[in-house]
Chains A and B, each alone.
Chain A
Amino acid sequence: MHRTLDTLALYAICAILLVAFWYQFALGELPCPLCALQRIGFIVAGAALLLNLRVGRSPAHYGVILLTAIAAGSASLRQIALHVIPGSGSYGSALFGMHFYTWAFIGYGALVVYVGVMLLAGGFEPTRERMVKRERASTVAGGLLVAVAAANVVAFLLECGAGPCPDNPVGYLWWPGTR
Protein backbone atom coordinates (compact mmCIF):
# COMPACT_ATOMS: atom_id res chain seq x y z
CA MET A 1 0.00 0.00 0.00
CA HIS A 2 2.77 2.46 0.96
CA ARG A 3 4.72 1.63 -2.18
CA THR A 4 1.64 2.12 -4.33
CA LEU A 5 0.99 5.54 -2.80
CA ASP A 6 4.63 6.59 -3.23
CA THR A 7 4.55 5.40 -6.85
CA LEU A 8 1.36 7.35 -7.51
CA ALA A 9 2.83 10.45 -5.85
CA LEU A 10 5.93 10.11 -8.04
CA TYR A 11 3.79 9.84 -11.19
CA ALA A 12 1.80 12.88 -10.05
CA ILE A 13 5.03 14.87 -9.70
CA CYS A 14 6.15 13.77 -13.18
CA ALA A 15 2.73 14.82 -14.53
CA ILE A 16 3.06 18.28 -12.93
CA LEU A 17 6.51 18.74 -14.49
CA LEU A 18 5.24 17.56 -17.89
CA VAL A 19 2.30 19.98 -17.80
CA ALA A 20 4.76 22.81 -17.01
CA PHE A 21 6.85 21.64 -19.97
CA TRP A 22 3.80 21.63 -22.23
CA TYR A 23 3.04 25.24 -21.32
CA GLN A 24 6.69 26.18 -21.85
CA PHE A 25 7.24 24.64 -25.25
CA ALA A 26 3.80 24.17 -26.81
CA LEU A 27 2.32 27.44 -25.58
CA GLY A 28 5.56 29.45 -25.40
CA GLU A 29 5.35 30.47 -21.73
CA LEU A 30 8.87 30.98 -20.42
CA PRO A 31 9.39 30.11 -16.76
CA CYS A 32 10.62 32.89 -14.50
CA PRO A 33 13.31 32.35 -11.79
CA LEU A 34 10.70 31.76 -9.07
CA CYS A 35 8.91 29.30 -11.39
CA ALA A 36 12.24 27.48 -11.79
CA LEU A 37 12.63 27.18 -8.02
CA GLN A 38 9.16 25.66 -7.81
CA ARG A 39 10.07 23.08 -10.45
CA ILE A 40 13.30 22.15 -8.65
CA GLY A 41 11.29 21.38 -5.53
CA PHE A 42 9.18 18.85 -7.40
CA ILE A 43 12.27 17.19 -8.90
CA VAL A 44 13.98 16.84 -5.50
CA ALA A 45 10.76 15.56 -3.90
CA GLY A 46 10.47 13.06 -6.75
CA ALA A 47 14.03 11.85 -6.12
CA ALA A 48 13.19 11.28 -2.44
CA LEU A 49 10.05 9.34 -3.37
CA LEU A 50 12.12 7.31 -5.80
CA LEU A 51 14.51 6.46 -2.95
CA ASN A 52 11.53 5.03 -1.06
CA LEU A 53 10.77 2.81 -4.02
CA ARG A 54 14.35 1.72 -4.71
CA VAL A 55 15.89 1.21 -1.26
CA GLY A 56 12.87 1.09 1.04
CA ARG A 57 10.88 3.69 2.95
CA SER A 58 12.71 5.82 5.47
CA PRO A 59 11.78 8.89 7.54
CA ALA A 60 14.94 10.55 6.17
CA HIS A 61 13.50 10.41 2.64
CA TYR A 62 10.32 12.07 3.82
CA GLY A 63 12.48 14.64 5.62
CA VAL A 64 14.06 15.61 2.28
CA ILE A 65 10.57 16.03 0.81
CA LEU A 66 9.55 18.28 3.71
CA LEU A 67 12.63 20.50 3.36
CA THR A 68 12.29 20.96 -0.39
CA ALA A 69 8.51 21.46 -0.10
CA ILE A 70 9.05 24.26 2.41
CA ALA A 71 11.78 25.87 0.28
CA ALA A 72 9.86 25.64 -3.01
CA GLY A 73 6.54 26.40 -1.31
CA SER A 74 8.14 29.61 -0.03
CA ALA A 75 9.04 30.52 -3.62
CA SER A 76 5.43 29.99 -4.71
CA LEU A 77 4.10 31.92 -1.71
CA ARG A 78 6.48 34.76 -2.56
CA GLN A 79 5.15 34.81 -6.13
CA ILE A 80 1.55 34.76 -4.89
CA ALA A 81 2.38 37.70 -2.60
CA LEU A 82 3.82 39.64 -5.57
CA HIS A 83 0.46 39.42 -7.35
CA VAL A 84 -1.95 39.23 -4.42
CA ILE A 85 -3.24 42.80 -4.80
CA PRO A 86 -6.01 42.96 -7.44
CA GLY A 87 -4.69 44.79 -10.48
CA SER A 88 -1.05 44.01 -9.74
CA GLY A 89 -0.90 41.65 -12.69
CA SER A 90 0.11 38.02 -12.84
CA TYR A 91 2.72 35.79 -14.45
CA GLY A 92 1.77 33.26 -17.10
CA SER A 93 -1.64 31.92 -17.90
CA ALA A 94 -4.14 30.34 -15.55
CA LEU A 95 -5.17 26.71 -15.33
CA PHE A 96 -8.66 26.04 -13.98
CA GLY A 97 -8.82 29.62 -12.74
CA MET A 98 -5.53 29.71 -10.85
CA HIS A 99 -1.97 30.48 -11.92
CA PHE A 100 0.79 27.91 -11.75
CA TYR A 101 2.47 29.44 -8.71
CA THR A 102 -0.83 29.08 -6.82
CA TRP A 103 -1.15 25.48 -7.97
CA ALA A 104 2.45 24.88 -6.92
CA PHE A 105 1.70 26.22 -3.44
CA ILE A 106 -1.31 23.89 -3.19
CA GLY A 107 0.86 21.03 -4.48
CA TYR A 108 3.54 21.61 -1.85
CA GLY A 109 0.88 21.90 0.85
CA ALA A 110 -0.51 18.57 -0.31
CA LEU A 111 3.02 17.09 -0.23
CA VAL A 112 3.49 18.22 3.38
CA VAL A 113 0.17 16.63 4.36
CA TYR A 114 1.13 13.46 2.45
CA VAL A 115 4.45 13.24 4.29
CA GLY A 116 2.71 13.72 7.63
CA VAL A 117 0.25 10.93 6.89
CA MET A 118 2.97 8.57 5.65
CA LEU A 119 5.13 9.22 8.70
CA LEU A 120 2.16 8.58 10.98
CA ALA A 121 1.37 5.39 9.09
CA GLY A 122 4.80 4.00 9.98
CA GLY A 123 5.68 0.59 8.56
CA PHE A 124 9.29 1.43 7.78
CA GLU A 125 11.39 -1.53 6.83
CA PRO A 126 14.33 -2.43 9.07
CA THR A 127 17.67 -1.23 7.70
CA ARG A 128 18.73 -4.78 6.87
CA GLU A 129 15.72 -5.26 4.62
CA ARG A 130 15.80 -1.90 2.90
CA MET A 131 17.14 -3.31 -0.31
CA VAL A 132 14.03 -4.35 -2.15
CA LYS A 133 13.76 -6.34 -5.31
CA ARG A 134 13.92 -4.45 -8.54
CA GLU A 135 10.42 -3.73 -9.67
CA ARG A 136 9.29 -2.63 -13.03
CA ALA A 137 7.01 0.07 -11.57
CA SER A 138 9.81 1.86 -9.74
CA THR A 139 12.12 1.56 -12.74
CA VAL A 140 9.55 3.07 -15.08
CA ALA A 141 8.58 5.85 -12.67
CA GLY A 142 12.23 6.55 -11.87
CA GLY A 143 13.19 6.57 -15.53
CA LEU A 144 10.41 9.04 -16.24
CA LEU A 145 11.58 11.32 -13.41
CA VAL A 146 15.20 11.18 -14.63
CA ALA A 147 14.06 11.99 -18.19
CA VAL A 148 11.94 14.94 -17.07
CA ALA A 149 14.73 16.23 -14.80
CA ALA A 150 17.27 15.93 -17.64
CA ALA A 151 14.90 17.79 -19.98
CA ASN A 152 14.64 20.57 -17.39
CA VAL A 153 18.43 20.83 -17.20
CA VAL A 154 18.59 21.28 -20.98
CA ALA A 155 15.63 23.68 -21.03
CA PHE A 156 17.10 25.95 -18.36
CA LEU A 157 20.55 25.85 -19.95
CA LEU A 158 18.94 27.04 -23.17
CA GLU A 159 16.90 29.70 -21.40
CA CYS A 160 19.40 31.09 -18.91
CA GLY A 161 22.80 30.00 -20.17
CA ALA A 162 25.56 29.89 -17.57
CA GLY A 163 24.16 32.54 -15.25
CA PRO A 164 21.02 33.58 -13.41
CA CYS A 165 17.72 33.70 -15.30
CA PRO A 166 16.35 37.16 -16.14
CA ASP A 167 13.40 38.24 -13.96
CA ASN A 168 11.16 38.55 -17.00
CA PRO A 169 12.54 36.22 -19.67
CA VAL A 170 11.67 37.06 -23.27
CA GLY A 171 13.51 34.26 -25.05
CA TYR A 172 16.11 31.52 -24.84
CA LEU A 173 19.61 32.88 -24.27
CA TRP A 174 21.32 29.86 -25.87
CA TRP A 175 18.69 29.13 -28.53
CA PRO A 176 19.40 31.39 -31.50
CA GLY A 177 16.43 33.08 -33.10
CA THR A 178 14.13 32.93 -30.11
CA ARG A 179 15.00 36.30 -28.57
Chain B
Amino acid sequence: MMMVLPFLLGLLAAVFALMRQRNAAITVALVAVAIQIWWLLYHATDRLAVSL
Protein backbone atom coordinates (compact mmCIF):
# COMPACT_ATOMS: atom_id res chain seq x y z
CA MET B 1 0.00 0.00 0.00
CA MET B 2 1.20 3.49 -0.74
CA MET B 3 2.38 5.61 2.17
CA VAL B 4 0.99 8.59 0.30
CA LEU B 5 -2.56 7.17 0.29
CA PRO B 6 -3.67 8.57 3.68
CA PHE B 7 -2.20 11.95 2.66
CA LEU B 8 -4.27 11.79 -0.52
CA LEU B 9 -7.37 10.94 1.53
CA GLY B 10 -6.59 13.78 3.96
CA LEU B 11 -6.32 16.14 1.01
CA LEU B 12 -9.61 14.85 -0.39
CA ALA B 13 -11.29 15.32 2.99
CA ALA B 14 -10.06 18.92 3.12
CA VAL B 15 -11.27 19.58 -0.44
CA PHE B 16 -14.69 18.08 0.33
CA ALA B 17 -14.89 20.17 3.50
CA LEU B 18 -14.04 23.29 1.53
CA MET B 19 -16.79 22.38 -0.96
CA ARG B 20 -19.25 21.83 1.91
CA GLN B 21 -19.63 18.13 1.07
CA ARG B 22 -20.04 17.05 4.70
CA ASN B 23 -20.78 13.33 4.34
CA ALA B 24 -18.06 12.80 1.76
CA ALA B 25 -15.52 14.66 3.89
CA ILE B 26 -16.34 12.67 7.04
CA THR B 27 -16.30 9.35 5.18
CA VAL B 28 -12.96 10.02 3.53
CA ALA B 29 -11.50 11.35 6.80
CA LEU B 30 -12.53 8.17 8.64
CA VAL B 31 -10.99 5.99 5.92
CA ALA B 32 -7.79 8.05 6.28
CA VAL B 33 -7.80 7.39 10.04
CA ALA B 34 -8.29 3.65 9.45
CA ILE B 35 -5.33 3.55 7.05
CA GLN B 36 -3.34 5.67 9.50
CA ILE B 37 -3.87 2.98 12.17
CA TRP B 38 -3.00 0.24 9.67
CA TRP B 39 0.28 2.00 8.82
CA LEU B 40 1.05 2.47 12.54
CA LEU B 41 0.66 -1.28 13.15
CA TYR B 42 2.74 -1.99 10.02
CA HIS B 43 5.63 0.19 11.18
CA ALA B 44 5.48 -0.58 14.91
CA THR B 45 7.78 -3.57 14.71
CA ASP B 46 10.82 -2.65 16.84
CA ARG B 47 10.75 -3.96 20.41
CA LEU B 48 10.51 -1.15 22.91
CA ALA B 49 13.10 -0.94 25.68
CA VAL B 50 10.42 -0.17 28.22
CA SER B 51 8.50 -2.33 30.64
CA LEU B 52 4.82 -2.19 29.77
- Digitize B23-36: 1 where CB-to-A-CB distance is under 8 Å, 0 elsewhere: 00110011011001
Known A-B contacts A47-B10, A160-B4; A167 and B30 likewise in contact (beta carbons under 8 Å): no
Known A-B contacts A78-B44, A82-B48; A55 and B8 likewise in contact (beta carbons under 8 Å): no
Q: Are A43 and B18 in contact (CB under 8 A)?
A: no
When distances are taken between beta carbons in the complex, the residues of chain B under 8 Å from A71 are 33, 36-37, 40
Q: Are A37 and B26 in contact (CB under 8 A)?
A: no
Interface size on A, as a range, is 35 or more
**Leading 8 A-B pairs by shortest Cβ distance:** A43-B10, A47-B13, A50-B17, A149-B11, A142-B18, A47-B14, A160-B3, A51-B17
| Best-buried of A40, A64, A84, A167 by chain B (most CB within 10 Å) | A40
Q: Are B7 and A81 in contact (CB under 8 A)?
A: no
| Chain B residue at smallest Cβ distance from A48 | B29
Q: Are B20 and A54 in contact (CB under 8 A)?
A: yes
Whole-angstrom distance between the Cβ of A138 and the nearest chain B Cβ:
8
- Digitize A36-53: 1 where CB-to-B-CB distance is under 8 Å, 0 elsewhere: 110111011011101100
The interface size of chain B toward A, counting residues with CB under 8 Å, comes to: 34
CB under 8 Å from chain B, chain A span 130-172: 130-131, 139, 142-143, 145-146, 149-150, 152-153, 156-157, 160, 162-165, 167
| Chain A residue at smallest Cβ distance from B14 | A47
Residue of B11, B44, B48 near A43 (CB, 8 A) is B11
Interface presence of A112 (CB below 8 A): no
Interface presence of A67 (CB below 8 A): yes
Whole-angstrom distance between the Cβ of A50 and the nearest chain B Cβ:
4
| Chain B residue at smallest Cβ distance from A162 | B2
Q: Are A40 and B32 in contact (CB under 8 A)?
A: yes
Known A-B contacts A51-B26, A54-B17, A54-B18; A36 and B3 likewise in contact (beta carbons under 8 Å): yes
Could you show 10 A-B contacts with beta carbons less than 8 Å apart? A64-B26, A64-B29, A64-B30, A71-B33, A78-B40, A85-B50, A143-B18, A149-B14, A153-B11, A164-B42
